[in-house]
Structure 1
Amino acid sequence: MTTTTLKVRQTAPLRTPTDLGADATRDIAAALTTLLADMFALYLKTKNFHWHMSGPHFRDFHLMLDDHGDQIFATTDAIAERARKVGGTTLRSIGHIQRLQRLLDNDADYVTAQDMLAELADDNKQMAAYLRAAHAVCEDYNDVATTSLIEVWIDEAERRTWFLFEATRTAN
Structure 2
Amino acid sequence: MAAKGDNSKAELVTGLNGLLADHVALYFKTKNFHWHVTGPDFRDLHLLFDEQATAIFGQVDVIAERVRKNGAATLTSLGTIAAAASIKDQDRGDLSPKQMITELRDENAALVESLKALKDVADKAGDNATDGLIDDWTDMAEQRVWFLSNLLA
TM-score by length of 2: 0.94
Report the 3-state secondary structure (helix = DSSP H, G, I; strand = E; otherwise coil) of the residue aligned with 1:107: coil
Matched, 1:36 2:16: no
Alignment gaps of 5+ in structure 2: none
In 2, the alpha carbon distance for the partners of 1:79 and 1:151 equals 13
Corresponding residue number in structure 1 for 2:103: 119
Mapped contact 2:122–2:131 kept (Cα < 8 A) = yes
CA drift at 1:25: 3.2
In 2, the alpha carbon distance for the partners of 1:142 and 1:86 equals 11
Larger radius of gyration: 1
Deviation string for 1:82-137 (max 9, x for gaps)? 00001111100000011111111111241000110011000000000111111111
In 1, the alpha carbon distance for the partners of 2:11 and 2:104 equals 28
Alignment of 1:90-129 (within 5 A): 90-129=74-113
Matched, 1:63 2:35: no
Alignment of 1:81-160 (within 5 A): 81-160=65-144
Corresponding residue number in structure 2 for 1:168: 152
CA drift at 1:144: 0.9
In 2, the alpha carbon distance for the partners of 1:131 and 1:105 equals 20
Corresponding residue number in structure 1 for 2:9: 25
Tell me whether 107-116 or 75-84 shows the greater mean CA deviation. 107-116
Corresponding residue number in structure 1 for 2:36: 52
Mapped contact 1:25–1:88 kept (Cα < 8 A) = no
Mapped contact 1:47–1:69 kept (Cα < 8 A) = yes
CA drift at 1:38: 0.7
Mapped contact 1:25–1:87 kept (Cα < 8 A) = no
**One-letter amino acid of the counterpart of residue 160, structure 1:** R
**One-letter amino acid of the counterpart of residue 28, structure 2:** L
Deviation string for 1:44-83 (max 9, x for gaps)? 0000000001010111111011110000000000000000
TM-score by length of 1: 0.84
In 2, the alpha carbon distance for the partners of 1:150 and 1:135 equals 6
Higher relative contact order (CA 8 A, sep 6+): 2
